[in-house]
Each structure stands twice: as C-alpha cells, then as structure tokens.
Copies of this chain bind each other. A is one copy, B any other.
Amino acid sequence: MEPVRWLTDEEQRAWRRLAAVVLRLPATLERQLQRDAGMTHVEYRVLALLSEEPDGQLPLRRLAAQANASLSRLSHVVTRLEERSWVVRQPDPTDGRTTLAVLTEQGREVLVAAAPGHVAAVRSVVFEPLSERDVADLERIAGRIAARLDEPPATNNR
C-alpha cells in the first residue's frame, strides 16, 4: 500500500479543463449531427471512414478500431446503417470470418450532405479558439495521450 500520489494544483487545473472538453465535446457534436443530419457521431464516422476507402468497404474489425469503438458497438451501428440502406454487409471472399461493410450510393449522398455542417461545427468549437501554435501543441499532446490509450491494458497503476 504505497502513498497515493494526488494531482498537483497545476495538474488539477489541466485535468478539470480536459475533463470538460472530453465530456462536452462529444455531446455537442452529437447534437449537431442528430439535429442537422439525423445520425449519430459514430454513424457519421463510419460513413466517413468508408468513403475514404477507394472501394468504399472495410471489415468491421478495422472500422471499429479506426472509429474508436468496440466491435460489438460497431456491429450494432452497421445494423442501423443497413436498415437505412446507407451501408450493406458483405462476406469477405478471402476470409470467412470477416464481414465487410460497404458504403452504398445513398450512404455516400447523405454523408456528402452531412459533412459541411459537421466540419463547420468542429471548426467552430475546436479550431476557431485556437492559434496556429495551439494547433501544433494540441497535435503533440493529444498524440501522446492517444498513444497511451492504445497500449496499456497493463495493470492500473505503476
């Protein structure tokens, strides 16, 4: 039982602000997309990721990773997208285990329609208040934390 290392004052201030961002930013974007495009943020990201692929398709596993979601969640999301015919499931011919999500023409259209509003929202909330230097610093810092979030299924402390 080692002594608890609490946060320093500086760390506490930084953490409070980061926590506010981390808790409010998703809610804000969620609301904008839901209101203007009738889709959730995950759904948008899935469509966007698919549209970036040359053939508009990706295995669920990879979609999950790139969208920062669990595979289970992604499966549910794809089901919803499929119901609206924005995406179709297709078996992967090269591997019987994997399922491909394929972007439909309709899906591409709703994405194109939704994108400007979403980008405007992101720009308005995150980039407008930042200087160029801020953006560079943000990239560096978020990268370090994100890297940490990838790796450590390790034991909690130390």
B130 near A24 with CB under 8 A, answer no
Contact A123 B14 (CB under 8 A): no
Contact indicator A156/B121 (Cβ below 8 Å): yes
Instruction: Describe A's contact surface by its main secondary structure.
Output: helix
Counting CB contacts under 8 A, is A76 at the interface?
Answer: no
Residues of B within 8 A of A117 (CB): 156-157
Q: Please tell me the size bucket of the interface on A.
A: 35 or more
Is B129 within 8 A of A147, CB to CB? yes
- CB pair B146–A20 under 8 Å, yes or no, is yes
Residue of B nearest to A18 (CB): B142
Residue pairs across A and B with Cβ atoms less than 8 A apart, 8 shown, are A15-B127, A18-B138, A20-B146, A23-B26, A23-B68, A28-B149, A120-B156, A134-B141
